[in-house]
Amino acid sequence: MKKPKAFLKFEGNKCFLEKIVKEYEKANLRQIVVVFNPKTLKYYQNHAYTFLDLHESVVNTQPHLERFFSIQKGLSAVESTNFCFIQDCDNPLIDAETIAKLMANKHKADVIAPIFEHKKGHPILISKKVIEKILEQKSPDTNLRDIIRQFEKFYTIVETDSVLKNINTQSDYARYFAS
């Protein structure tokens, strides 16, 4: 991809990240934390985006430590909370309705995830116990799945396959966003 995934065009002048943030805002989530690596932060700043002005940005200055370290950076910036979403920027088709459905089930388990036609999707909603377990990990080789496996899960049935769609390649992007 020629630009960071977070800034691929979604619709009109919106990019993936802006679309995701707007859906969480529509779902009335009060704190949104976005984790950037230095390259994506520079891209955001150089293109005069403003959709994060009311939210917190955290920079992972060690992007070589990969996704789990970024998740730890983001979670360490979250104010005291009992639940938190983990949302990747390559799942831009999330909607406020799905977010609300997941939130409605937050007390049913430590990990809440959407499921569409027996396939697990994104994002996940995690409890304070999971947040604490993630934050206490010291190894940069830790995998989020290994942590998640240790906790009770509840799968929320959703009516949209958007929770299954990841945009990882140029052909994925063309398939979902061909003009």
Give the chain's largest Cα–Cα span.
45
Q: What does DSSP assign to residue 41?
A: H
Cα–Cα nearest to 114, from 131, 128, 97: 97
Report the DSSP pairing between strands 83-86 and 124-127: antiparallel
Instruction: List, in sequence order, every beta strand (DSSP E) within 78-159.
Output: 83-86, 111-116, 119-120, 124-127, 153-157
pLDDT of residue 50: 87
| Tokens, residue 78 | 């979250």
Domain layout of the chain by residue ranges: 5-177
**Predicted TM-score (pTM) of this structure:** 0.93
pLDDT of residue 132: 97
CATH superfamily, region 5-177: Spore Coat Polysaccharide Biosynthesis Protein SpsA; Chain A (3.90.550.10)
Beta-carbon contacts of 121 under 8 Å, excluding residues fewer than 6 positions away, are 91, 113, 114, 115, 158, 163, 164
Q: What is the pLDDT along the chain (179 residues), one digit of tens a residue?
A: 678 899 999 888 889 999 999 999 999 998 999 999 999 999 999 988 888 988 999 999 998 888 999 999 999 999 889 999 999 999 999 999 999 999 999 999 999 999 999 999 999 999 999 999 999 999 878 999 999 999 999 999 999 999 999 998 889 998 888 75
**C-alpha distances out from residue 89 to 67, 128, 174, Å:** 12, 23, 16
DSSP collapsed to 3 states, 74-87: HHHHCCCCCEEEEC
pLDDT of residue 61: 94
Contact status, residue 154 vs residue 105, Cβ threshold 8 Å: yes
Contact status, residue 124 vs residue 158, Cβ threshold 8 Å: no
Contact status, residue 35 vs residue 68, Cβ threshold 8 Å: no
- For residues 96-113, b (16+ Cβ closer than 10 Å) or e, as one string? eebbebbbeebeebbbbb
